[in-house]
Amino acid sequence: MVGLETFPANLESNLDVQTGAADGLAGTKRTQWPRGKYEGDDNNEYHIIRYCYVNQEAAEKLDCKLKEAIQLWHNAFGGRPGAASGHSLVMKEVPGWTRLAPDGTFVDEREYCFTAFNPGTRNGIWNSRVKNDVLAIEYDHSGRKSSTTGYTPENVLSINWRHQLRLGDSAGGVVAAHIIAHELGHVFGMLHEHQRKDRDNYVEYMPSNVNGFVAAMNRALTDIVPKPSPGDVVQKLRDDWEFANNYGFLGTQYIKGDKEPGNPIDDPSGFDYDSIMLYPSSFGSIPNNNACASDPRRCPLSKITKDKNGNVVKREHIRTKLTPSPKDAAFIKKYYPWPPIGAGQK
Ligand SMILES: [Zn+2]
């Protein structure tokens, strides 16, 4: 049986809720996905993300939308992997098997990551026919979307279920393809654009507009002895991943450098307002926050323009991105170029 609570600490540090470009691979033990042959297709090597669904429900709920999201990335790359598009990234489901039905016909069966999986407890029995490094895709009943970042090699951690993609429904129904495309950005190795260390020149982050801020603030003020100043708590909820996480604050998703602040996450291509990894202004906001809709200063994140003295002279809403941007595609091609580079290389 496996469960999240069994993960050692170094993997926990990769388990983000949603966890130009913000580079989640530079300076970490994570790498791009390994290279290998794409069986039955040709003799070329590719960087292959092998995936399985944790159970039948996940496949039924998510397979169509996942393929739409992969298509969004393919469009951004300029087509399938090869010399023309300049990338070598393939997502491939773990091969299934065929069984003979009682009526004498052959039936194709999917290979799931688990032979038994309980979505409520998230416990299950890993399918021994599936390698331990595949990406396990799960339908999340609570509506949560999250993923691990990049690939964790065997020599860093060799346990089952270390690469995860969890997708739940959105308020309007089935999770949208562009949201899955954002999560795939994490799977490929990207962090949030607004977690770049240079982000304060481009966007303004207002933790007090994030849903749950007041509750997290109160938890910290009640818990810490001697009682800290409210200003100190605000600063830590804004800048300190461990602290924010400790007090259950969703603002962890905005903290510069994510939980590894020392890592060089700012890709030299520069800040990209069009990145699918940049949250729209209203994301994470207090529910029914009409104030955010009319005034970007009331949103968790807004686009800013500064004058030559560094003063903010304009704030605008950041729109929802429906496709990966050209710089998103360029970043992926850096780690997954054609022809592919060696596994574990950067
Ligand atoms: Zn994310």
pLDDT in tens, 164-195: 999 998 877 788 999 999 999 999 999 999 99
pLDDT(12) > 70: no
pLDDT(9) > 80: no
Going from the Cα of 59 to the center of ligand 1, the distance in angstroms, rounded, reads 22
Contact 113, 164 (CB under 8 A): no
For the chain, the structural domain boundaries read 22-191+325-345, 192-264+279-320
Going from the Cα of 244 to the center of ligand 1, the distance in angstroms, rounded, reads 17
The pLDDT, as a whole number, for residue 26 is 84
The per-residue pLDDT for range 119-167, each reduced to its tens digit, is: 989 999 999 999 999 999 999 988 888 999 999 999 999 999 999 999 9
Dihedrals phi, psi of 115, to nearest 5 degrees = -85, -20
Going from the Cα of 100 to the center of ligand 1, the distance in angstroms, rounded, reads 42
Decide the pairing of beta strands 301-306 and 203-205. antiparallel
pLDDT(27) > 90: no
Give Cβ neighbours of residue 94 (< 8 Å, ≥ 6 apart).
Answer: 50, 51, 52, 111, 113, 130, 131, 134
pLDDT band at 5 (very low <50, low <70, confident <90, very high): very low
The per-residue pLDDT for range 298-311, each reduced to its tens digit, is: 999 999 999 999 99
CATH number corresponding to 22-191+325-345: 3.40.390
The per-residue pLDDT for range 270-298, each reduced to its tens digit, is: 999 999 999 999 988 887 778 999 999 99
pLDDT(19) > 70: no
Amino acid identity at 341 = I
Going from the Cα of 19 to the center of ligand 1, the distance in angstroms, rounded, reads 5
